[in-house]
Amino acid sequence: MKSKPTKHIFVCTNLRAGESKSCGNKGLKIRTQLVRLLSNTPQKDHIRVNKSGCLGLCKSGPCMVIYPQKVWYEKIKIKDCENIFNKSVIDNDIIEELEVPDKRWNK
Ligand code: FES
């Protein structure tokens, strides 16, 4: 039996029709890459990587959030996934270059 997850990663995969920017397929590829990385680790039964709807950062997507750390990342590229996974998901560290600044939440 699987145990309750200790960590959740939500990757925006919202695809919006029209000209407004959305994370869409880029978010889906990032989520797929994170799932692939997770599948090769002993923590795979304790961490979930979920697709999410819009996280409210559309203009700076693709974006994601890791709980319970509450670390938000933006402008993620596929090449960032391995670093995100190893540094933030496994080692609970923050990648400052990708982090959404706190001041954005205090507007
Ligand atoms: S569409 Fe991804 S944050 Fe809005």
Report CA 58 to chain centroid distance, whole Å: 14
CATH number of the domain at 39, please: 3.40.30.10
Q: Is residue 83 part of a domain?
A: yes
Q: Is residue 33 part of a domain?
A: yes
Q: Is residue 1 part of a domain?
A: no
Helices (H), 1-107: 24-39, 81-83
57 lines ligand 1 (CB under 6 A): yes
Question: What's the pLDDT at 18?
Answer: 82
Q: How far apart are CA 56 and CA 79, in angstroms?
A: 23
54 lines ligand 1 (CB under 6 A): yes
Q: How many domains does the chain have?
A: 1
Q: What is the pLDDT of residues 40-74, one digit of tens each?
A: 999 999 999 999 999 999 999 999 999 999 999 99
Q: How far is CA 69 from CA 8, 19, 22, 44, 66, in A?
A: 9, 33, 24, 18, 6
Question: What's the pLDDT at 19?
Answer: 76
89 lines ligand 1 (CB under 6 A): no
Q: Which of 13, 22, 64 to mutate to test the pocket of ligand 1 (most atoms within 8 A of CB)?
A: 22
What pTM value is reported for the model?
A: 0.93
Q: Is residue 65 part of a domain?
A: yes
Residues of the domain holding 88: 7-102
Q: Is residue 14 part of a domain?
A: yes
14 lines ligand 1 (CB under 6 A): yes
Q: Which of 11, 12, 74 to mutate to test the pocket of ligand 1 (most atoms within 8 A of CB)?
A: 12
Q: Is residue 2 part of a domain?
A: no
> Residue 2: is its pLDDT beyond 90?
no
**Number of the ligand 1 atom closest to the C-alpha atom of 54:** 4
Q: Is residue 107 part of a domain?
A: no
